[in-house]
Amino acid sequence: MTEETLFSKIINREIPADILFQDARVTAFRDLYPQAPTHLLIVPNKPIPTVNEVTEQDQAVLGYLFIVAKKLAEQEGLAENGYRLIINCGNHGGQEVYHLHMHLMGGRRLGRMVAAD
C-alpha cells in the first residue's frame, strides 16, 4: 500500500487547498509556494510515487493530466501567451512530494528550464 501523502490528504479534503478542479481521476489546486504568477498542481487521485512507478494501467490518467492542464491554462488565461508543464522525478529531479504531479506555471515569461550551478 502506498503511503499517504500531503497530496492525498488534499484530494481527500482532509486539509485545505484552493482546489480548482476535481473529478474521479484528477485533482488540481494552487501551489502553496508559487514560483510564477500562476502555479497550479495537477495530481492523479491514485497515488503514484514517481514516474518510475508508472504502469501501463496509468496511461489513461496520465494522458488525462494533459487534458486537464489545457483546460486550466485556458481558464486561467495562459493559453494565448503560453505556459510550462513540469513533472519532476526523484531527488535529483527536484521532486519534493512523492505523489506524481504536474506543475502548470505561467503568467509571465519563464526563464530557462535548468539554471547553471
Q: Which residues belong to the active site?
A: 101
E-strand spans in the chain? 19-22, 26-30, 38-44, 83-86, 102-106
Q: In this structure, are residues 48 and 60 in contact, taking their beta carbons and an 8 Å threshold?
A: no
Residue whose C-alpha cell is 509556494 = 33
What residues does 106 pair with on adjacent strands? 38, 83
Residue 104, burial from CB neighbour count under 10 angstroms (0-12, 13-18, 19+): buried
